[in-house]
Structure 1
């Protein structure tokens, strides 16, 4: 009877509680507006860890963190907690914080080699996804040193080497791993990838070397052809220090510019460079200057055996728009080159070939591009331009 009475009282209390629950609000309940926010403060339901943990805002999480970082616990236990913390950050793809957690775990210097190996391997993975391939490789190597057969360290080391294009080293990592894990698919796949890239890199290196050798041979042949013709080269920002005397021996060191690849650098400036054509003739980039109008013309391939008049006739077949007086007719033009060392001019007969002009003992090809000055014979500008200048005929 007593039991039945107690049960009846309990039912009455429950009915009373439910009636109150229907009509009165629970003071500590989550509101409709903030229930998601409050849920996210509970560690079990958190979608991501907050950047900064305020004990007032996140009391439960703060408590858990204090447990993780409790310095009174054994180093192994602290390191393991920090490993778990790093793993949580890693799963969230927060690799920077994962690195900090794994690093803190390693600093505990616990005696558990297996745990330290995992910490190093996991930190290597975090560095890998951050793009820090050197750091990732160093961690993988340290993990392998602690435990030579650790599969994840071996795989990560090979992956890092491939990313760093150290394909031979990647294959070594795979070979070491396959000795203890001979059937591991990932190691086999990485080795095949490294071998493929290694062969491609070696093939590209051979092609590049062959191309370089060919280009060097062509350049040497070009220099030999220029030297055989007695043409003198002068690199950019360089002046010949020859004697002012025109009677100087043509074979003396002062009269012949040093032949070098630097003397053929015009391609960087003009987009063209002297070359030997299939018939063995030199084709030169040539610049024509018109000081009266501050204009210029450029011929990218002027055959050494061609006379100036042939190009002039083509260039002035139609008079340029800047020639308002229509006086730049081929028959009216005078051609000169300047000896920069002596500041003297040499007049060139338009019927002369380019080669003959280049072979003159006072002509120096600067930056791989011969240049010539064009004036209108008898014009007022021409007379003024030539005042005070010593002019020689070729």
Structure 2
């Protein structure tokens, strides 16, 4: 009976304690409205590490960091702690900070080759995910130098080479790796991919070389056709010699004409058009028409040498005149066509019914920058009179 009475007393005490527990708040509990934030300050439960560690705000984390960076500990321990710190940053995808930690670990020069290899390989991985392929490859190479059969270093080196499009080196990395790890699936996959890219790159290089050779041959053919027609290119211009219209001056000016080269065939217009030879062996030229009165121009990408100027003018100034011609005066029958001899400060008037080839073969016409150019003026206009004043005008 005494035992039963003691049990009842104990139960009453427990009931009293529970009733009291329910009515009183736990004084050391985390605040209800900010418990998650406070929970995240505890190193064991942190989801992400803070950018800057304030000892007042994160005392436990500051204490742990002080332990990691304790200079009194052996270099090997410090390097390992820095490696672990870098791994945490790496898992959080904070690759910049991971690199800093791995670099700090390597600077400890702990003498542990295994640890240095891991630090280099991990730093290579961080560089890789940041897109720093050359730095990643350098770290992988340094790790391989310490430990030639290190699998992660070999894989990372091959991956970097593929990303850098140096496929022959990627194959070499894989071959070195497969000597030590002949059945590694990742190395075998990388080897197959690198070899495939290498063969494709070699094929593309052969195609590009063949295309370049073909293009060079086409340009040589065009160059020969231009030279056969006696068309001259102005590569460099000497200052004009004034006071003489003799044949001697013509010869002296011609000395300013450099030997026509393949590079001289390319037009400097933004269109990239250039002279070409069609199947009927006719040359087609990019031609520029200039309208100085309105500071306008027209560019014809393929003006056949056998076509006359009037054919193009009739199209450009046919039923619909350009919007800049506010006075509606640019009609084909009203236009005068010139080319300029810059060396003699002379204008040569061109008959619109003349073919382009005849003008290009004129002794004072020089193709400049791969594009023959002509000035178009309105006959009898005040601007035309002012423009030609003081210039020598000569017909073809």
Structure 2 residue ranges without an equivalent (≥5): none
| Number of aligned positions between the proteins | 391
Q: Which moved more, 1:339-348 or 1:152-161?
A: 339-348
From 353, 363, 370, the equivalent of 2:355 is: 353
From 328, 351, 359, the equivalent of 2:331 is: 328
Q: Report the aligned-residue RMSD.
A: 3.1
Work out the CA distance in 1 between the residues paired with 2:330 and 2:78. Answer: 94
SS of alignment partner, residue 367 of structure 2: strand
SS of alignment partner, residue 370 of structure 2: coil
Alignment of 1:299-310 (within 5 A): 299-310=300-311
1:67 aligns to what?
67
1:338 Cα deviation after fit: 1.8
The reply to whether residue 204 of structure 1 matches residue 204 of structure 2 is yes
Q: Report Cα offsets for 1:328-348 as digits up to 9, x if no partner.
A: 343x54433221111112233
Alignment of 1:44-63 (within 5 A): 44-63=44-63
Query: Is contact 2:321-2:330 (8 Å) kept?
Result: no
SS of alignment partner, residue 53 of structure 1: coil
Q: Which moved more, 1:127-136 or 1:346-355?
A: 346-355
1:156 Cα deviation after fit: 0.8
Alignment of 1:100-111 (within 5 A): 100-111=100-111
Work out the CA distance in 2 between the residues paired with 1:292 and 1:89. Answer: 68
Query: Is contact 1:255-1:361 (8 Å) kept?
Result: no
- Structure 1's 367 and 19: CA in aligned 2 closer, same or farther, altered over 3 A? same
- Structure 1's 344 and 124: CA in aligned 2 closer, same or farther, altered over 3 A? same
Work out the CA distance in 2 between the residues paired with 1:4 and 1:70. Answer: 62
Alignment of 1:66-145 (within 5 A): 66-145=66-145
Q: Report Cα offsets for 1:77-110 as digits up to 9, x if no partner.
A: 2222222221121111111121122122222221
SS of alignment partner, residue 73 of structure 1: coil
2:156 aligns to what?
156
Work out the CA distance in 2 between the residues paired with 1:376 and 1:55. Answer: 85
Structure 1 residue ranges without an equivalent (≥5): none
TM-score computed with the length of structure 2 as normaliser: 0.87
- Structure 1's 211 and 26: CA in aligned 2 closer, same or farther, altered over 3 A? same
Work out the CA distance in 2 between the residues paired with 1:231 and 1:112. Answer: 76
- Structure 1's 377 and 339: CA in aligned 2 closer, same or farther, altered over 3 A? same
- Structure 1's 260 and 7: CA in aligned 2 closer, same or farther, altered over 3 A? farther
1:166 Cα deviation after fit: 1.3
1:255 Cα deviation after fit: 6.6
